[in-house]
Structure 1
């Protein structure tokens, strides 16, 4: 059988949402391996720096909305492979459904009609129609509608993703920098943080024909409770703060206020999803299935927490 996607000959890969945190790492990997990358973004002007990614490939930019069929057709035209990374987490349930479910379905339909051979959809650990949070339910619904269009679409479900530009460890390090206490929400819930570069590598490998149709849950080598992760934030950033457990009822009350502020720093839906562990399950494949040996957060996070948290502060203000 002829390979539909290989590393030895250049292919055109369409990346919807390629300007995001994970998308930027993924695009750089594609360029490094010599592929032509067509990046679809609602704000392509802001990500022109990706055009300077090192490698023998090149990057094209298009303004694309996941809910616009004509724009999606231009993105997928002539593409051999496609990846949809678009997702939102918002307290507005209608927007959640429009982007995460309707958008995921439309993107898969237009990619299939354009003749795309390899397709991967970014999901999340906890994606399920029975999730306690609307976000998790939307991701579960998205998986279902994508698979109806592309039965052999790859699905990647990462846990919390870390890296120099993440909005998880950086955010809590920023709170620790300006507050005498560090709040701990759902202190006993477990997480399995995964390095953004490992997630990007998993996307690359899921595009290979031998991995078509896999459902891969991506987690790193460390499994920690939320309290243990907050203690790690303090250790990695070199700060001493009091860890303050927040009861669920108080967390919901705080979220009802914070979700109305720009950036939605905490929503009631996030609080609901914190009630269940966010770790790799025994059923689906994992990173080791793709021959990826994930990097520990302990090897990466301390390097950027001590220098970069106020960059996030400037981003939040803008």
Structure 2
């Protein structure tokens, strides 16, 4: 039995589809089974979330493999970024050890360190350490760069913002990424699950190094709404988003913690080597989004 967390997320949905198509016994830890769509009758459902340790201890019964994709990039009513990413993963690892799990696959992020400027990446670094230093026989960390897909939440938000004549960009927009398609990431996860002796760490990156500004231009072009971009100084963005979050709480359309992540580079010196080691050739943004060469920014 395989336990999948984050089964309704961008990568988790793609992984779930592959597992159910291959008839792999899957148990999904979810708060709302309706978000599983038709797959809710094809998987076992464990009700709960990362803020409720007893729920995932029960979900681990009879499980030999865990794929832990669930994450939070903003504070939630049920827990902070640190609690839901760092502490919850540490507790899940402890429960997995007690349950006799033999392989624990944890999704981190490129560049996660204990001294990072962002709360999210610091929490991910703490979680990485908990996984690697555990007594689980096969702990594996997968660290992707920014993950995207046509029609994802970020692309949908940009499309809505493009109703205006210009689209704002937080800061200088110079942070660099190697964007990787969610479907390529899911293929890498499935290949890892089939591997007899996986490595302890895989860095998943696309074939191009592009900055934040260029990513936004490409996503707007793919949505059919190219717009001029206006760079907004970071202090102004920080104050505006913090004020919005104070008023709207969890309903805020964006938070400073999310915006700050887009000012931290996530690149791998290994490029696409780890993905190719798993038999996956990541596609470029142009290939995935169907962009013509003359639509790409120069």
TM-score interval, smaller chain: 0.7 to 0.9
Alignment RMSD:
2.5
What CA distance in whole angstroms lies between the structure 1 residues aligned with 2:167 and 2:252?
18
Shift of 1:220: 1.4
Structure 1: gaps (5+ residues): 1-11, 53-57, 304-318
Identify the residue that residue 196 of structure 1 maps to in structure 2: 182
* 8 Å Cα contact 2:203-2:268 kept in structure 1: yes
Identify the residue that residue 30 of structure 2 maps to in structure 1: 41
* 8 Å Cα contact 1:154-1:206 kept in structure 2: no
> Among residues 103, 128, 136, which one is paired with 2:88 in the alignment?
103
* CA deviation vs aligned residue, 1:123-160 (integer Å, no higher than 9, x gap): 11221101111111011111111222236311111122
Secondary structure at the aligned position of 1:245 is classed as strand
Identify the residue that residue 296 of structure 1 maps to in structure 2: 284
Identify the residue that residue 179 of structure 1 maps to in structure 2: 164
- Between stretches 260-269 and 158-167, larger displacement belongs to 260-269
> Among residues 64, 67, 70, which one is paired with 1:86 in the alignment?
70
> Among residues 56, 64, 89, which one is paired with 2:48 in the alignment?
64
Secondary structure at the aligned position of 2:153 is classed as coil
* CA deviation vs aligned residue, 1:169-215 (integer Å, no higher than 9, x gap): 22212211x21101122321112211111111222223345443421
Structure 2: gaps (5+ residues): 292-298
Cα distance change on mapping 1:269 and 1:146 into 2, 3 Å: same
- Counterparts of 1:93-242 in structure 2, within 5 Å, are 95-149=80-134, 150=136, 152-176=138-162, 178-185=163-170, 186-242=172-228
Shift of 1:74: 2.6
Secondary structure at the aligned position of 2:43 is classed as strand
Secondary structure at the aligned position of 2:96 is classed as helix
How many residues align? The count is 286
> Among residues 279, 300, 304, which one is paired with 2:267 in the alignment?
279
Identify the residue that residue 6 of structure 2 maps to in structure 1: 17
What CA distance in whole angstroms lies between the structure 2 residues aligned with 1:100 and 1:238?
35
Shift of 1:292: 0.9
Shift of 1:92: 6.8
Shift of 1:25: 0.8
* 8 Å Cα contact 1:216-1:286 kept in structure 2: yes
* 8 Å Cα contact 1:38-1:62 kept in structure 2: yes
What CA distance in whole angstroms lies between the structure 2 residues aligned with 1:168 and 1:241?
16
* 8 Å Cα contact 2:60-2:99 kept in structure 1: yes
Q: TM-score normalized by structure 1?
A: 0.81
